[in-house]
Amino acid sequence: MKNKKWLYWLVALLLVAAAGYSVIHVHKAEQANSVKMAKQASIDKKRDQKIAKQKKDQKQRARKPVDWSKPSLTGEYPDLTPYRHIKKKKDKVWLDVSVRKQRVYVMQGRYILYTMYASIGKNYDGHTQDYQRTPVGDFRLQKEHGPEYYDATKKYGAKYWTSFSGHGVYRFESVPFDKNGKVIEKQAGRLGSQKVTKKHNIKNYGSIRLTVPDAKWLQENIKPHTRVVVHGKKSDKEFLDFLY
């Protein structure tokens, strides 16, 4: 009987010890998790503050009215040298193309390094011919590029074209020029405008138009294989959430 009583006490002590250890372990885990969450919250806050600062700076520098012969922003283009050797995919330089906003964003991870005015035809179902559609999706900048071209069948050309799909079929390029090398003012004047309708769609045969200096800078500074994401109906925030 005494042995059984002793055994009961031993079991009870072991249970109390286990419960005490469990409480201490849970408390330490909660503390560690709390520290981790606080650290992440601090990182997220700093990131969001930097993004907000970049957006404010670029909004102030945005050239108004839009001038197809000048960079989209006043001041210097960003120096991409510090980002050349980044290995993490999510932190690399990439191009975010918003059909909804008619903008091309030069990104580094989630950070906006530069904002370009763009002119992109919208893909209205049943109203846009297949050959005129700007492809929507995830691409890589291709090696095909050139200083200029002229297409007699379309009756326009452009300067500083850089392929992102179809090896020269779909391109980043400047605003259009006629056969005499003169800019087509009416179409160039739509650069950056979000007033694109079914009736007055931008017929650029799927390519993405930029100011002449922006197209030149992109060609010279954004390397082949750089990620290009073209999104249309999704909002910018939804698409960034999708990417990450």
| pLDDT above 70 as % of the chain | 80
Domain 66-243 has CATH 3.40.50.410: no
Q: What pLDDT does 180 receive?
A: 95
Can you tell me the distance from the alpha carbon of 82 to that of 124, in angstroms, rounded to the nearest whole number? 40
pTM: 0.80
Strand order across the beta sheet in which 145-151 lies: 145-151, 156-165, 170-174, 208-210
Residue labelled with tokens 């989209």: 72
Tell which wins on pLDDT, 163 or 238.
163
| Six token digits for residue 50 | 């930097």
User: What is the pLDDT confidence band of residue 244, given thresholds at 50, 70 and 90?
Assistant: very low
**Beta strand residue intervals within the chain, DSSP E:** 93-98, 103-108, 111-117, 137-140, 145-151, 156-165, 170-174, 208-210, 227-231
What average pLDDT does the chain have?
85
pLDDT, residue 19, reads 64
Q: Answer with the residue of higher pLDDT: 203 or 18.
A: 203
pLDDT band at 10 (very low <50, low <70, confident <90, very high): low
Amino acid at 55: K
